[in-house]
Amino acid sequence: MKNIKLIAGFFLILTSLTFISCENEPIDSSINLDDFNNGVNGPALFKADFSGATWTATTFQAVISGNFITISGVKANGEGFGFLVEESTTGTYAANTNLLAYTPSGSEYGYWSTNFNNPEENTGSITISNINTTNNTLSGTFNFKGYWSDTTVNSILPVQFTNGVFQNIPFITQAQTGDSFFAKIGGTEFVDVDILSTTISVGSQEFISIGAQNAALNSITVSVKSSLGTGTYPITGNATTDGVQAIYDFNDTNYNAVSGSIIVTSKTATRIKGTFNFVTSGATPFTVTEGAFDVEY
């Protein structure tokens, strides 16, 4: 089964995560937010049917970054859809091997396109039908069966999302976000082709997670509690007490950081910058040095 390793890294560090919709703020000062509400080559639209009604977003965003496409459609109250597709071209892609999610307003969890008890279940699909590189818009359709992402709760039934449409959603590229990531593994530079940052809720705690993936599909993920400000935070390998975590995914094997530190040098409401180093678990531990990140979240 295909695996989105950056998201998998978040799972392995924090066990349970929810897809948080993007804030309605510009990623780059040159971007006009009105473009996200009114497609530059026609009206922008994001809607879906579920629970006997049609849901329509009021704000839209999309990013094409290396091998990934992310799309979100949200309402003013914070409820919304968020998609992470491990592709960068048009086509139809399985929902269960990508991430399609709907998060209700005020919830730490949402309905995900993966059945955690049966990951092979065909839960639907997403079609990217058009990527307009002249006007920087994309369009497509989706449908999926969403399972509640809090796996400790068995009483919430899955929800079927149908007739999903996203039309003329303006997108930006990773270069326009200004995000950056750097690290060396065993003294050799880790050359990333994708950077992904997201906010993760675990019970009452929230983390900011930053992941980077290289062309060989290996990945590094570091996470910082959202409540932490600037400062130096040690990694001890204790996922329960540490305010920061890290993981290295190499050749489909995950190696958790057991020592090291993450230094947050700058943090605002929408952006975080810092450095890191760590040593992983494993019979032959990996040593990660000169780590640095500067990302929107």
Q: Model confidence at 204, in pLDDT bands (50, 70, 90)?
A: low
Is residue 191 a part of any domain in this protein? yes
Same domain, 243 and 217: yes
Same domain, 231 and 263: yes
Q: Which domain holds residue 77?
A: 29-173
Same domain, 67 and 168: yes
Residue written as token pair 């990773």: 174
Task: With beta carbons less than 8 A apart as the criterion, state whether 173 and 202 touch.
Answer: no
User: What DSSP state is assigned to residue 30?
Assistant: T
Is residue 190 a part of any domain in this protein? yes
Tell me the pLDDT of the chain averaged across its residues: 83
Q: Which of 111, 145, 173 is the last residue of a domain?
A: 173
Average pLDDT rounded to a whole number, residues 83-104: 91
Q: Model confidence at 30, in pLDDT bands (50, 70, 90)?
A: very low
Q: Over the stretch 280-291, which tens digit does the pLDDT of each residue have?
A: 999 999 999 999
Same domain, 165 and 190: no
Q: Over the stretch 252-286, which tens digit does the pLDDT of each residue have?
A: 788 999 999 999 999 998 899 999 999 999 999 99
What's the predicted TM-score (pTM) here? 0.63
Q: Indicate the residue type of 22.
A: C
Is residue 40 a part of any domain in this protein? yes
Measured CA to CA, the distance from residue 289 to residue 275 in angstroms comes to 9
Query: How many Cβ atoms from other residues are within 10 Å of residue 282's Cβ?
Result: 14
Same domain, 163 and 206: no
Q: Which of 152, 173, 194 is the last residue of a domain?
A: 173
Measured CA to CA, the distance from residue 60 to residue 221 in angstroms comes to 27
Same domain, 190 and 233: yes
Going from the C-alpha of 273 to that of each of 211, 235, 262, the distances in angstroms are 13, 17, 10
Residues 198-233 as b/e (b if ≥16 CB within 10 A, e otherwise) read bbbbbeeeebbbbbbbbeebbbbbbbbbbebeeeeb
Same domain, 136 and 264: no
Q: Model confidence at 12, in pLDDT bands (50, 70, 90)?
A: very low
Task: With beta carbons less than 8 A apart as the criterion, state whether 99 and 113 touch.
Answer: yes
Measured CA to CA, the distance from residue 18 to residue 108 in angstroms comes to 6
- pLDDT at 201 (0 to 100): 59
Q: Which of 146, 173, 200 is the last residue of a domain?
A: 173
Is residue 153 a part of any domain in this protein? yes
- pLDDT at 175 (0 to 100): 63
User: What DSSP state is assigned to residue 87?
Assistant: -
Is residue 11 a part of any domain in this protein? no
Same domain, 193 and 260: yes
Same domain, 118 and 251: no
- pLDDT at 15 (0 to 100): 31
Q: Is 115 exposed, middle or buried (0-12, 13-18, 19+ CB in 10 A)?
A: middle
Same domain, 153 and 36: yes
Same domain, 191 and 127: no
Q: Over the stretch 210-266, which tens digit does the pLDDT of each residue have?
A: 988 888 888 899 999 999 999 999 999 887 788 899 999 998 788 999 999 999 999
pLDDT exceeds cutoff 50 at 296:
yes
Is residue 112 a part of any domain in this protein? yes
Residue written as token pair 């999309």: 62
Is residue 212 within a helix (H) or strand (E), and if so which, with residue range? strand 205-214
Total domains in the chain come to 2
Phi then psi dihedrals of residue 34, to 5 deg: -60, -30
Same domain, 119 and 192: no
Is residue 22 a part of any domain in this protein? no
Is residue 127 a part of any domain in this protein? yes
